[in-house]
Amino acid sequence: MILINIKEWKLRHKIILHVVIIGILTAILLTFLYIKTQRNIIHTMSRQKAELVGSMIESSIFSAMKDGKLENVQTALQEIATPSDIKKIRIISPQGKILRSSEEDEIGSTVESSTLDKMNEFLSKKNLSDIIFIRPKSTIQGFHIIENRNECFNCHSPSKKINGILEVNIDYAATVALLQKNQLKGVIIALVSLVILNFVILRLFEKIINRPIFQLKDKMKKVQEGDLNIQLSSLKNDEIGSLTQSFAIMVRKLKEANHKIEELFNKQMEKAEHLASIGELAAGLAHEIRNPIAGMKGALEIINEKTDEKDIRKEIFTEILLQIEKINNIIQDLLSYAKPKEMSVNLVDPNECVKNAMKLAAPQISDKDIHFRFKGLENGTPAYIDADKIQEVILNLMLNSISAINKKGHITIDLRERNERGLEIILSDNGKGIKKEILSQIFNPFFTTKKRGTGLGLSICKKIIMAHKGSIEVKSQERKGTTFTIRLPVFQSEG
């Protein structure tokens, strides 16, 4: 839940959180390094002091032995141990007996077992250089070897290598207290520096990042509300400035695109109104023309029937009747486009629509070597469609394919179920194809490349498919053929 809430935070709050976390971690790290460094300095100074005291006492001992005044050794130990931070100085035999000490009452006694263990550890080393031990309660215990030199041969046998071990105990409690006091000051300084650093970073974030982003966000909101007249200017060359420039370019292009869309929409509206007017005019004219044509056709049929087969006028009357039939078809196309019939959707077998269309198209291939290849739905799944209108669409597309094939070819109709609720009708041929430059215009009303076409067939097909809430697409290559793909959402419950 915490991670989810953090993800929902604003950018400013996220940056504040990260700055605080990084600042705290940095302060902890610096404090740790500061304390560690101070402790190392104290230990180094105490070690140097122990070594210095050892050297001084060793020099005093050798000087006293040289002069034959051993009582001066005890005096030197007591004088050197006078400072408050030097707790105790002792000269100890390798066996642990205290030979000299800044505290006279322990001379002749044996050292503590812990000190004896450390001495033995010290003597067991190959390199008998000075060694320092850190003892509890802020005490440093150092050991220094007193070698048997020529000056010592008056009192010690020349065969001995070590006359004794010098032990120096230094109390650095006062130094630790000073360190702790300085540590507290360091922590306070670090915390104050952290607060100041966070404040500076946040102010820089507010000025450099948050404020420009907020201004850009405000502009975006106005664009979202539809105001494309906003003015965007960037005075910076950083990433936010680049983002502002990109947004300004996008708004400008959006404004240009919106202007073009408005122009196109106005043109389409004018065209639609023009087509609507033509449709109404064509429908009126069709009705006015249809009745006289019907009368002419009826009269010519009677005359044609009474005309002898050998009469040369028989052929003329037959041709006139054929042309009148073509006029009727044109009028019917105009009426279908201008005033289409209402949809009559029923549960039918799509396979039957294709088969009926193939029967109606069969007479048109009598003078050509064209074969139909039909692959229907295997399970005969019924679909909710207007059977007559879908049959009209398939027939229209088949007639166009027949016209596109010169002498020999094939037309393939394939029905498929699509996404369990859709019907896909694919009709393809290997005819001459459609030129690329006119492919986008073939569904426009009154557009045709045929000498005797009305240009309404494909337009009517598209209207029928759109009425079924479907889509129709076309792909074509010259001299290779054309494929129409129809998709209909028709497999659904009756309710």
Q: pLDDT class for 19, splitting at 50, 70, 90?
A: confident
Of 192 and 240, which is predicted with more confidence? 192
Mean pLDDT, rounded, for 466-487: 93
What pLDDT sits at residue 287? 66
Residue 495 has pLDDT above 50, yes or no: no
Q: pLDDT class for 485, splitting at 50, 70, 90?
A: very high
What pLDDT sits at residue 40? 78
What pLDDT sits at residue 177? 75
Q: pLDDT class for 146, splitting at 50, 70, 90?
A: confident
Residue 370 has pLDDT above 90, yes or no: yes
In three-state form (DSSP H/G/I as H, E/B as E, the rest C), the secondary structure along the chain is CHHHHHHCCCHHHHHHHHHHHHHHHHHHHHHHHHHHHHHHHHHHHHHHHHHHHHHHHHHHHHHHHHHCCCHHHHHHHHHHCCCCCEEEEEEECCCCEEEEECCHHHCCCECCHHHHHHHHHHHCCCCCCCEEEEECCCEEEEEEEEECCHHHCCCCCCCCCEEEEEEEEEECHHHHHHHHHHHHHHHHHHHHHHHHHHHHHHHHHHHHHHHHHHHHHHHHHHHHCCCCCCCCCCCCCCHHHHHHHHHHHHHHHHHHHHHHHHHHHHHHHHHHHHHHHHHHHHHHHHHHHHHHHHHHHHHHHHHHHHCCCCCCHHHHHHHHHHHHHHHHHHHHHHHHHHCCCCCCCEEECHHHHHHHHHHHHHHHHCCCEEEEEEECCCCCCCEEECHHHHHHHHHHHHHHHHHHCCCEEEEEEEEEEECCCEEEEEEEECCCCCCHHHHHHCCCCCCCCCCCCCCCHHHHHHHHHHHCCCEEEEEEECCCEEEEEEEECCCCCCC
Q: Is pTM, for the whole model, over 0.85?
A: no
pLDDT-wise least confident of 41-55, 158-172, 337-351, 478-492: 41-55
Mean pLDDT over each residue of the chain, to the nearest integer: 79
pLDDT in tens, 242-289: 777 787 788 788 888 888 888 887 887 777 666 666 666 666 666 677
Give the chain's domains with CATH numbers. 2-178 (3.30.450.20), 343-488 (3.30.565.10)
What pLDDT sits at residue 178? 72
Residue 239 has pLDDT above 60, yes or no: yes
Residue 49 has pLDDT above 60, yes or no: yes
How many percent of the chain have pLDDT more than 70? 79
What pLDDT sits at residue 450? 76
Residue 92 has pLDDT above 60, yes or no: yes
